[in-house]
Structure 1
Amino acid sequence: MHHFLIGQHGSFDYHKFKRDFKDDFYGIEACLFSGQKDTLNLLKESKERGFQIGVHFPFRSENVKVRDALFLDQNEKTREKAYRWIQEELEFLTSMNPSYVLFHYPKPVLLDDRVDWSNWRFTDPSEFVFESSYSLDELIEHSESLFQWLTEKSEEFHFTPILEFDGLNRYVYETDFLEKLFEKYNHVKLCLDTGRLHFQDKLDPYFDPKTIIKKYGRFADLIHLWNVKVNKKIEFYHYPVLPELQPEDGWAPIEEYLGIIKKENKNIKILFEHRSELISDEDLERCYSWVDGIMHGKSEE
């Protein structure tokens, strides 16, 4: 389980840490911390327990109205503001020496005009734009600038930049421009989010998550692992993955997703981005054991 992580969102929660974290885990991914005390607790435990720190941008929650940096915005000033914000966060994080810093991509999200996105989670209209008003050439240009800039910053600040797929459109799954960028700027890695992939599969009739995993799995360094039940309604958001949660009931085919990813990189890091309080201690252990068995061939006890 030395490739496993847990998340700490908003603060350093000692109850979650003591219950969810295991001594052989890789680390903790932190996001939107609200105070210095939480930061110091994270650093203290990291030093004493010897685990790595990953950061889901932004690390600090102060003055955050829209969580994600809009580095692909069509407005040049908005893009410049996004880069300045990231720069400031990277400078702040220097003393923490994070293993990686993760950003949602694409941001703004480019939405397929053919799809009803009303159930996709956005906090502000600035977070999305429709594909019909954003050309492929624009996306290629702004994305290459991002990859080049993140590569330079990764060398300056000694971290791995990771891009987590948000909502995806035809530019990403019907062309190869993004694959070429990951090949050219190979310090930049990818995060695959199982819940987002499943959710989009259920609302977007043109989207195939398994094709995405096969297409981009070789560039992935991290999985955000959680489940969600989607039928006529959406239930159990960020639910822990368990073997009895079956696709025919609306759950994500987690074992199939992980099986595809394993063929590309069985040592990929896995962040359990779930609400562990929804299940018992025994089921949490079963969750960890089941995933470890899928990825490393150990049977569930």
Structure 2
Amino acid sequence: MEAHDQTRAEAFERVERELAFMSLIQPTYVLFHYPKPVILDDRVDWNVWRFHDCRDYVWEQAYSEEGWAPIEDYLTIIRKENPHVKIMFEHRSDLVTDGQLERCYRWVEQLLSEPDESTSSNNSI
């Protein structure tokens, strides 16, 4: 577990350095890839989401942590810094249904339009 904690801490430190640099150069947009491995909820069927390489993910149960990555918290922080932020999703449209994608878009839109509160206990995807 300590190796995972160290890897995660190093990944967050790299992201913080990059975001600090981005605030200096003020780019039009930033393409952000979530650090791997991602933590996958083992109650969800991930077959269509393209996690083929086992180095790219860790099952939540095996990682001994509750919940998903705090995406809601991340979006809240991003929205506070830039209320006009645009979010771009990468996905394989042949593997995700229009309904799943629309639910994802509505969920993010709701998070970005909520008052400045974290909603990490209210995952809806």
TM-score (norm 1): 0.26
Asked if 1:197 is matched to 2:72, the reply is no
Residues 116 and 210 of structure 1: CA distance in aligned 2, closer, same or farther (over 3 Å): closer
Normalized per residue, which structure has more strand?
1
**Conserved? CA contact 2:51–2:57, under 8 Å:** no
**Secondary structure in structure 2 of the residue aligned to 1:191:** coil
Residues 135 and 190 of structure 1: CA distance in aligned 2, closer, same or farther (over 3 Å): farther
| Counterparts of 2:85 and 2:51, CA distance in 1 | 26
| Counterparts of 2:79 and 2:48, CA distance in 1 | 37
Q: Deviations over 1:100-136 (max 9, x none)?
A: 333335842438688499x8565xx542223553578
Unaligned runs of 5+ in 1: 1-73, 161-186, 202-207, 221-301
In the other structure, the counterpart of 1:137 is 66
> Which residue, out of 101, 105, 123, partners 1:217?
105
Rg comparison, structure with higher value: 1
Unaligned runs of 5+ in 2: 110-125
- Larger relative CO (CA 8 A, sep 6+): 1 or 2? 2
| Counterparts of 1:85 and 1:154, CA distance in 2 | 21
Further displaced range: 81-90 or 105-114 = 105-114
RMSD: 4.2
| Counterparts of 1:116 and 1:212, CA distance in 2 | 11
| Counterparts of 1:151 and 1:159, CA distance in 2 | 10
| Counterparts of 2:61 and 2:45, CA distance in 1 | 7
Asked if 1:77 is matched to 2:6, the reply is yes
Offset at residue 83 of structure 1 (A): 1.4
Q: Deviations over 1:203-260 (max 9, x none)?
A: xxxxx4222112112336xxxxxxxxxxxxxxxxxxxxxxxxxxxxxxxxxxxxxxxx
**Conserved? CA contact 2:37–2:55, under 8 Å:** yes
**Secondary structure in structure 1 of the residue aligned to 2:88:** strand
AA matched with 1:148: D
Q: Aligned residues: percent identity?
A: 30
In the other structure, the counterpart of 1:148 is 73
Residues 151 and 134 of structure 1: CA distance in aligned 2, closer, same or farther (over 3 Å): same
The 5 A counterparts of 1:1-301 are 75-105=4-34, 107-109=36-38, 110=40, 115=47, 122=53, 126-130=55-59, 133-134=62-63, 137-139=66-68, 143-144=69-70, 147-148=72-73, 151-152=76-77, 155=80, 158-159=81-82, 190-194=87-91, 196-198=92-94, 201=95, 208-218=96-106, 219=108
